[in-house]
Structure 1
Amino acid sequence: MSDEKIYVTRPFLPPLEELLPSLERIWATRDLTNGAAFHREFEQALARYLGVPFVSLFTNATIALVTALQCLRITGEVITTPYSFVATAHSLLWNGVEPVFVDIDPHTLTLDASRVEAAITPRTTAIMPVHVYGRPADVDGLQRIADTYGLKIIYDAAHAFGARFRGRSLADYGDLSVLSFHATKVFNTFEGGAIVSRDAQTKQRIDYLKNFGFADEVTVVAAGINGKMSEFQAALGMLQLDHIDASIRQRGMVAQRYDAAFADIAGIDVLGGLEQYVPNYSYYPIFVSRDFPVSRDDLYARLRDAGIHGRRYFYPLISDFPMYRGRPSAAKSGLPTAHRIADEVICLPIYPELGVSDQQRVIDCIRTAAT
């Protein structure tokens, strides 16, 4: 067995020689930022690829989340999930907004729409669901609630690049959707992110906000921030678009091999397919139940001892961190499903260049623990 470590992900990069002409173009123009040519081309190319109305590029998805809330002037309370990366809730705190945690659906692991209505108060202004592992939240149920109560929906779609539901990109739902192009994601620009918006006026406000609020050289119209994507990131993104479909197919092959290997192991559960959903295979979570001979944490440790670095993602819950756990909605009694899932999950290695022999190392380690 190889001693080489296997990590939960490995960023996909295009061949270096494909990037060199873009670098030469940047060096020739000395245009490094401020919405130059690559930035404009990448926004347009992304909108075409995703089939969405408007895209605004950002230096990272966290700044994009903060700006999305600013754009829609969200105040008061926002209903969100505890089962996500901390940036989801942190973006609310940065805007002086109170996060209200609601439990997750046990099948989709996304915000449980059936519990959202009971959490609405006169101070509620929006819902911030997450398409967890690139799987769709209850877009219909959440939209009905939002329409009934006059709420905005901002989707944290950080995991959802390339995933489709009912023939549409998952980024094409809600008032705004925020994508991540971080190095760990299916589609990366080293760091980066984007906001998908529905109309030209909203895009214009987003673009003002991400550039300090400047409307022109001498006019500032809002208390904006510096959220601009650089030309290097945009140039890399243009190249990544050439490879993304093949990358997702390769991820799918890894997921299919795992599905077959774990189908008959008692105590290891995997996520099933969803009707009208085309996945991007951004993560491969397994859930270690009480029927498995060892605990989740024991299996996690055995994998690490074998040089396999999975991730307990998401554990702990956001609601367990010090800045959140004192809130009434963070009480464990109100989030039973989220706590159970967080205590069972391990995300296994999955990326395009994960070889068959390394996949087998992962499979063998889990099968050995099962005996």
Structure 2
Amino acid sequence: MINVTKTFFPPIEDYHFQVERIWKNQWLTNRGELVLELEEKLKIFLQTSSILITNNGTVPLQIALKLLGNGGEIITTPFSYVATTASIVWENCTPVFVDIHPEYLTIDETKIEAAITDKTTAILATHVFGNPCNVGVIEAIVKKYDLKVIYDAAHCFGVNYNGQSIFEYGDVSTCSFHATKLFHTGEGGALFCNDNALMDQLFYSHNFGHNGPLAFHGLGINGKISELQAAMGLAVLPYMPQIVKERVKVVNYYNTHLNFTHLKNMKLREGTEWNYSYYPLIFENERQLLKIQKALNEASIFPRRYFYPSLNTIDYVKGQSMPVSESIAERILCLPLYLGLEKEDLSTICKIINQTLC
């Protein structure tokens, strides 16, 4: 069976080495030695000024919205994983959808200003499949209207834009370290913030609001990552160059061997150093997609419809029509992409797609 992705497992002796440190320290949680070490190594690897790692990739969105959303309207994208919209609703804010760019697949920055009202407090935009939003234009908008901007950068581990880490943009950026992601800690995530005062708020908000063991800054939840999760991250991190190198080969194979007469790729924004996190194909129509998906499934190959359906259509938001997002969501399919895919597997995938399209 070939799935859309496959979790990278480091050599078990590498993980054992890290776990033995936990047993030696007798410390499982509450920001132990491994968590602190992983944060420092990630700051160096990603070239970021700050990082706070968390127990998953959704909690960072929820904390950021709790601090910056203030129960208002949040301008957001309908083309993302459901956690983006769910976090807005969960934090008692109101999602206001803005359609996406048909080539970059990120929020269409030219349509944001028209959606701003006196209730708007923030923008929550997703860098889709590691492809950056137009952060320059968005930054100008938030300054003009005195808003906050949160970037859902769940797919963006290792992405650089205009010469710096994508995590350096926005009031807050978030990332996912889920097992399906490029870099993972099994379950996990991270917050990035360049404002020291806001970073302090983010920090205590992920630790029950604690200011020392017996005092509290304010309201907080439990967003802490464990030493066992950090051990996985420390075991995976040294293999990132190899992981990305092998994924580049897969992407190049697809680019070379697929027949793009009736297919399109996502367009990468100029200035992007991409991380090869996903391989989305955009078909001419949904019927074509379903035909390809069925043919691949019959060969035990399981691509995935990221992201479907368009989030403005889910029951608990019932947003306005977003024609571009709804159309793309019906026609986009992510192909298998991970370290360990054999050339024979890639050949089979491409042959099935090309032959079925004919």
SS at match of 2:51: strand
Say whether residues 1:37 and 2:61 are aligned partners: no
* Residue matched to 2:159: 163
One-letter code of the match for 1:16?
Answer: I
Q: What is the match of residue 112 of structure 2? A: 116
Aligned to 2:320: 331
Q: Does 1:143 align with 2:165?
A: no
Counterpart code for 1:296: L
Which residues of structure 1 form unaligned runs of 5+? none
Task: Name the residue aligned to 1:69.
Answer: 65
Matched AA of 2:157:
F
Tell me which residue corresponds to 2:314: 321
Give the Cα–Cα distance (whole angstroms) in 2 for the partners of residues 73 and 93 of structure 1: 11
- On the 8 A contact 1:311/1:346 being kept in 2, the answer is yes
Corresponding residue for 1:370?
Answer: 357
Q: How many Å separate the matches in 1 of 2:8 and 2:187?
A: 13
Decide whether the 8 Å contact of 1:7 with 1:349 is kept in 2: yes
Q: 1:203 Cα shift?
A: 2.1
Q: Letter of the aligned partner of 2:356 in structure 1?
A: A
Q: Which residue of the other structure, out of 207, 215, 222, is the alignment partner of 1:226?
A: 222
Contact in 1 for aligned 2:303/2:335 (Cα 8 Å): yes
Match of 2:91 in 1: 95
User: Aligned to 1:311, what secondary structure does the other structure show?
Assistant: coil
Are the equivalent residues in 2 in contact too, given 1:74–1:125 (CA < 8 A)?
yes
**Residue equivalent to 1:26:** 22
The normalised TM-score by structure 1 is: 0.94
Secondary structure, counterpart of 1:31 in structure 2: coil
Structure 2 alignment gaps of length 5 or more: none
8 Å Cα contact 2:69-2:93 kept in structure 1: no
Distance 1:255 1:68 in 2: 34
Q: SS of the counterpart of 2:208?
A: coil
Say which of 333, 342, 364 aligns to 2:329: 342
Mapped contact 2:18–2:234 kept (Cα < 8 A): no
Contact 1:53 1:199 in 2 (8 A): no
Q: Does the aligned pair in 2 maintain the 1:103–1:338 contact within 8 Å?
A: yes
Contact 1:265 1:370 survives alignment (8 Å): no
In structure 1, what is the equivalent of residue 212 of structure 2? 216
Aligned length: 358
Of stretches 159-168 and 63-72 in structure 1, the one that deviates more from structure 2 is 63-72
Contact 1:54/1:199 (<8 A) preserved = no
Q: What is the TM-score of this pair, normalised by structure 2? A: 0.97
Structure 1 residue runs of 4 or more that deviate by more than 4 Å after TM superposition: none
| Alignment partner of 1:176 is 2:172 | yes
Deviations 1:303-334 (A, max 9, x none): 11111100011011111111112xxxx222xx
Q: CA deviation at 1:273?
A: 4.1
Name the CA distance, whole Å, in 1 between partners of 2:308 and 2:317: 14
Distance in 2 between residues matched to 1:265 and 1:132, nearest whole Å: 21
Distance 1:40 1:243 in 2: 20
Name the aligned partner's letter for residue 369 of structure 1: T
Residue 73 of structure 1: how far off its partner (Å): 5.2
| Secondary structure in 2 matching 1:96 | coil
Corresponding position of 1:271: 266
Of residues 195, 198, 211, the one that matches 1:199 is 195
**Distance in 1 between the 2:218 and 2:297 partners?**
48
Structure 1 pair 102–340 and aligned structure 2 pair: CA distance change class (3 A):
same
Matched with 1:287 is 282
Deviations 1:180-231 (A, max 9, x none): 0001111111100000011332222111111111111111222211110000
Using the TM superposition, give the Cα deviation of residue 342 of structure 1 relative to its aligned residue in structure 2, in angstroms.
Answer: 0.6
Distance 2:75 2:269 in 1: 25
Q: In the aligned structure 1, how far is the partner of 2:194 from the partner of 2:67? A: 12
Where does residue 60 of structure 1 map in the other structure?
56
Q: Could you say if the C-alpha distance between residues 48 and 103 of structure 1 is closer, same or farther in structure 2, counting changes exceeding 3 Å?
A: same
Moved more, 44-53 or 345-354: 44-53
Residue matched to 2:102: 106
TM superposition shift of 1:272: 3.8
